[in-house]
């Protein structure tokens, strides 16, 4: 039977990935998680659960084709092949089981293919009767963003438990489709209001004052690869974390503004730096008040781009006020860069935006997580077996520094991913200590 498809425009991140970024291995840009089950899973119930989720969530059936010199996205009809493998490891020793899981995960990371439409695969590792198993999920990042996988994991647990008990599956009502989202973006980005935003805000930012972010080894800027990436982190105590959020409430601000203030203050260790170019990822689901996307699975995330002044004021109150003003001055939460660069139908606007530099810093706030992880449910808990690199080590990193911030067990942590080809470890240690000291000084105000 011939498979029918629905075409839809690419989202902003998909356009960036497929049209602008130069990849060594575009097939390996993945999201991967390995979960240990709290109890053995039933093979038939697992198969039917995966089938149900793929039929229910249109975004999981996306694939991409290159025709007429452009990429297009397709949504396949429900009822296709279920991308699930059941692997029996019950005859192996514990050490052999772990080694097999690692090797299978590494092979699966390398097996996805955009051209062949092979973008998601799951493996369940059966360790034997009465023993919890492991579920490995690997998908290409083009399919869905991190917010989507929170939805999927919650639905997975609910669907599996109902199917296992032979009960009718009832999930919450669907929210807007990917097609509705992309069509709304297409109309919105070329509206007269957005044209004014382009001319009155984005073109007037101090792009001419940007300098490349300072590094210890400037001769190595073209060696900023994923294989060279290292990570360091700092953490606030529980009482400091509680005090930080209390201070945020007292100043009538929010965590993003506060984190950006701390980052700008920390960056003062480079006196030549006057503008900090930061990308703050946003899940994108609150852009339009009358379009509900809270349960929509897909690659909807969008970047909020800020050019923040590095001012030499020693007063943290004034520093916070300055950051808050700059954020409020940015229309539409600063998502216009991505919209104009990748979504506008006006070639002049698109060309202008794509000549502007990419961000140096990425600041990703993941929110509060309880327990071991947000992936810990009554059916699953996070596993600690390595699953291999999600990106080809030869790929160029998309930013100079990447900060990942989250609150786990009431402790705020900030991890900085950097390239050892660009920065000394001691430089990043100093930066993180300044960051921590700034937040502690803010708490003490």
* pLDDT the model gives residue 440: 98
Give the DSSP letter of residue 110. T
Report the C-alpha gap between 212 and 254 in whole angstroms: 29
pLDDT over threshold 50, residue 91: yes
**Residue whose token pair is 């425009």:** 9
Q: Binning pLDDT at 50, 70 and 90, where does residue 29 land?
A: very high
* pLDDT tens for each residue of 326-380: 999 999 999 999 999 988 889 999 999 988 988 899 999 999 875 444 555 689 9
- Same domain for 221 and 149: no
- Same domain for 195 and 119: no
Cβ atoms 205, 340 nearer than 8 A = no
Where would I find the H helices in 114-237? Answer: 146-164, 178-189, 192-200
pLDDT over threshold 60, residue 2: no
Give the total number of structural domains in the chain. 2
* pLDDT the model gives residue 378: 81
* pLDDT the model gives residue 345: 87
- Same domain for 164 and 197: no
pLDDT over threshold 90, residue 423: yes
- Same domain for 171 and 228: no
DSSP notation for 313-351: ---HHHHHHHHHHHHHHSGGGG-HHHHHHHT-S-HHHHH
- Same domain for 74 and 218: no
* pLDDT tens for each residue of 118-128: 999 999 999 99
Q: Residue 163 maps to which CATH number? A: 3.30.559.10
* pLDDT the model gives residue 376: 54
* pLDDT the model gives residue 1: 41
Averaged pLDDT of the chain: 93
- Same domain for 299 and 187: yes
Per the structure, the complete domain to which residue 132 belongs is given by 5-176
Residue, of 411 and 286, whose pLDDT is higher: 411
């Amino acid at each position: 039977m011939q498979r029918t498809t629905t075409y839809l425009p690419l989202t902003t991140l998909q356009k960036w990935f497929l049209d602008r970024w130069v990849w060594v291995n575009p097939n390996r840009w993945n999201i991967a998680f390995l979960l240990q089950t709290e109890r053995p899973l039933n093979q038939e119930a697992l198969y039917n659960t995966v089938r149900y989720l793929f039929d229910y969530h249109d975004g999981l059936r996306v694939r991409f084709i290159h025709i007429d010199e452009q990429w297009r996205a397709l949504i396949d009809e429900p009822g296709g092949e279920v991308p699930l493998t059941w692997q029996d490891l019950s005859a192996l020793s514990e050490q052999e089981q772990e080694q097999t899981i690692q090797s299978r995960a590494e092979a699966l990371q390398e097996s996805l293919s955009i051209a062949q439409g092979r973008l998601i695969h799951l493996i369940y590792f059966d360790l034997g009767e009465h023993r919890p198993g492991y579920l490995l999920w690997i998908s290409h990042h083009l399919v869905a963003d991190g917010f989507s996988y929170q939805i999927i994991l919650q639905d997975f647990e609910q669907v599996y438990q109902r199917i296992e008990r032979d009960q009718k599956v009832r999930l919450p009502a669907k929210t807007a489709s990917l097609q509705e989202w992309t069509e709304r973006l297409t109309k919105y980005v070329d509206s007269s209001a957005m044209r004014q935003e382009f001319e009155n805000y984005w073109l007037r930012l101090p792009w001419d004052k940007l300098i490349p972010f300072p590094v210890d080894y400037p001769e190595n800027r073209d060696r900023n690869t994923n294989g060279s990436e290292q990570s360091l982190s700092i953490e606030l105590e529980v009482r400091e974390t509680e005090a930080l959020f209390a201070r945020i409430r007292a100043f009538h601000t929010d965590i993003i503004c506060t984190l950006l203030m701390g980052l700008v203050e920390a960056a003062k260790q480079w006196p030549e730096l006057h503008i900090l170019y930061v990308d703050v990822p946003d899940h994108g689901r609150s852009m339009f008040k009358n379009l509900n996307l809270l349960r929509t699975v897909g690659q909807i995330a969008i970047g909020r781009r800020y050019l923040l002044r590095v001012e030499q004021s020693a007063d943290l109150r004034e520093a916070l006020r300055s950051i808050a003003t700059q954020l409020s001055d940015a229309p539409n939460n600063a998502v216009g860069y991505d919209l104009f660069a990748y979504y506008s139908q006006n070639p002049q606007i698109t060309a202008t935006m794509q000549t502007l530099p990419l961000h140096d810093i990425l600041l990703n706030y993941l929110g509060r997580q309880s327990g071991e992880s947000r992936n810990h449910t009554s059916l699953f808990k996070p596993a600690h077996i390595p699953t291999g690199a999600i990106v080809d080590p030869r790929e160029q990193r998309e930013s100079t520094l990447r900060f990942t911030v989250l609150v786990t067990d009431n402790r705020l942590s900030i991890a900085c991913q950097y390239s050892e080809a660009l920065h000394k470890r001691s430089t990043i240690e100093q930066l993180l200590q300044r960051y921590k000291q700034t937040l502690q000084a803010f708490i003490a105000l």
